[in-house]
């Protein structure tokens, strides 16, 4: 067992420590002695992009199944144990990881760790539970499909990345969920839900030594601690994705059109992500951004208009989302292309750079005001990065972004071929002019 200090903190607060237990299980903690709560996350480095074709949808399916029962607790006992003390327990699945988490009073930390460890290590994954939850997931897919503002992002990723694991929906499809057998899901669970792929992160009024003691005891009870395995290395590379110029139109009789226009961008470890973040903030990151001002404030063409970035191990996305009346979609797309072209030709002003940096700095710091967000930061960092960058260093990297760096990023990202996804009553309407 080895313990290291990742960040010394200040005045006894913000100390981040890391211990590797036998078998490669990692525990990271951040002390917040002035609060009365703790957030516990169990991160598994497996996401939907890891699924082979025969396992499509299995990652998210498991997220549901792990709450159905273990040898010591049924589904009601799992939820009641945490809710009965005023806490919350839940989970989420992403493209590259899955997280099971709880937030409780500091005095209830032992129970939270015990319940989450039980769920993650000892799920029964019974045939009965698989069939029961299959129906729940199909309902979730149906609910998701009824919201075009969600579906358009999914369709954009599918067009941007093609028929690849990273381009497929996290939930899977109706066909893939109906095809999954109990044996396939259990095989996936047993293969990937192992200590080397797992990180336990805890933030709040805790001591690192106590957390390590509780985690070791819980995993020992489950027979999941021990061995010579080392922690799995973070996923820092992969096949990547080439820019694609494509259009995907989903014809629906909706009252509002939903569109995403964008392209591939930088991976999560690319140093240029800071310059892209500032550029994104200026172009469409808030109410003072160019796109919001031009599309909504000046012309009243849409209620919602924004741009965003997303990063993965080997690639990323830059996208512009707008929801507008179907008759206005051509005008909206024309403005989007004009603003993109203007940024490429002229870059952005010093004033916009200042606002963009301020938006990034404020979003980072304000987003770390509670135990849950800090737990997520240290857990995700341990899982997907090769180091934990201190907050002060992140802020310094944002401040250090130069106009020349922003201009270079604009030239590289916004000059690429574009991909467009549109949902609305358009039949076979040709949108190809907007991605040329």
Q: Which residues are catalytic?
A: 63
| C-alpha to C-alpha distance for 187 and 294, rounded to whole angstroms | 52
Token duo for residue 169 = 């929906």
| C-alpha to C-alpha distance for 40 and 103, rounded to whole angstroms | 6
| C-alpha to C-alpha distance for 370 and 374, rounded to whole angstroms | 7
Contact in structure between 112 and 36 (CB atoms under 8 Å): no
Of how many residues is the chain composed? 436
Q: Which of 124, 95, 114 is nearest to 189 (CA)?
A: 124
Map residue 306 onto helix, strand or coil. Answer: strand
Burial class, 124, CB count within 10 angstroms (exposed 0-12 / middle 13-18 / buried 19+):
middle
Token duo for residue 355 = 């606002």
| C-alpha to C-alpha distance for 120 and 63, rounded to whole angstroms | 9
Strands of 302-311's sheet, edge to edge?
246-251, 419-424, 257-265, 316-324, 302-311
Supply the DSSP symbol for 141: H
Beta pairing partners, 304: 323
Q: What spatial distance separates the first Cα and last Cα of the chain, rounded to whole Å?
A: 56
What is the number of other CB atoms lying within 10 angstroms of the CB of residue 362? 10
| C-alpha to C-alpha distance for 358 and 60, rounded to whole angstroms | 36
**φ, ψ (nearest 5 deg) of residue 229:** -65, 145
Token duo for residue 309 = 């970035």
Beta strand 37-44 with 316-324 is unpaired
């Amino acid at each position: 067992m080895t313990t290291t200090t990742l960040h010394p903190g200040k005045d006894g607060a913000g100390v981040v420590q890391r211990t590797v237990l036998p078998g490669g299980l990692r525990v990271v903690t951040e002390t917040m002695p002035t609060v009365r709560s703790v957030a516990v996350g169990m991160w598994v480095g497996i996401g939907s992009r890891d699924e082979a074709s025969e396992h499509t949808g299995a990652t998210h399916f498991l997220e549901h199944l792990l709450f159905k029962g273990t040898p010591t607790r049924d589904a009601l006992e799992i939820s009641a144990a945490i809710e009965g003390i005023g806490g919350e327990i839940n989970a989420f699945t992403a493209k590259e990881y899955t997280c099971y988490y709880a937030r409780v009073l500091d005095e209830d930390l032992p129970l939270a760790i015990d319940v989450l460890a039980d769920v993650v290590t000892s799920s029964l994954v019974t045939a009965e539970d698989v069939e029961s939850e299959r129906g729940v997931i199909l309902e979730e897919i149906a609910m998701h499909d009824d919201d075009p503002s969600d579906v358009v992002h999914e369709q954009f990723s599918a067009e941007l990345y093609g028929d690849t694991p990273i381009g497929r929906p996290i939930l899977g499809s109706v066909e893939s969920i109906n095809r999954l057998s109990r044996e396939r899901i259990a095989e996936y669970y047993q293969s990937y839900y192992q200590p080397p792929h797992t990180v336990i992160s805890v933030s709040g009024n805790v001591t690192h030594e106590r957390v390590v003691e509780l985690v070791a005891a819980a995993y020992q009870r489950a027979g999941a601690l021990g061995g010579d395995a080392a922690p799995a290395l973070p996923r820092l590379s992969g096949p990547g994705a080439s820019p694609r110029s494509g259009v995907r139109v989903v014809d629906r009789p909706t009252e509002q059109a939903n569109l995403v226009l964008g392209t591939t961008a930088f991976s999560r470890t690319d140093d240029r992500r800071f310059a892209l973040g500032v550029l994104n903030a200026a172009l469409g990151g808030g109410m003072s951004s160019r796109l919001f001002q031009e599309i909504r404030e000046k012309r009243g063409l849409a209620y919602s208009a924004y741009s965003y970035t997303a990063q993965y191990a080997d690639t990323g996305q830059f996208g512009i989302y707008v929801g507008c009346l179907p008759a206005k979609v051509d005008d909206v797309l024309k403005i989007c292309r004009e603003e993109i072209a203007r940024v490429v030709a002229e870059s952005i002003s010093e004033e916009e750079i200042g606002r963009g940096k301020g938006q990034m700095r404020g979003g980072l710091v304000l987003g770390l005001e509670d135990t849950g967000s800090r737990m997520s930061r240290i857990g995700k960092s341990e899982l997907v990065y090769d180091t934990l960058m201190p907050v002060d260093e992140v802020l310094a990297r944002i401040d250090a972004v130069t106009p020349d760096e922003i201009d270079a990023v604009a030239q590289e990202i916004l000059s690429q071929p574009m991909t467009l996804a549109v949902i609305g009553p358009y039949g076979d309407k040709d949108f190809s002019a907007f991605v040329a």
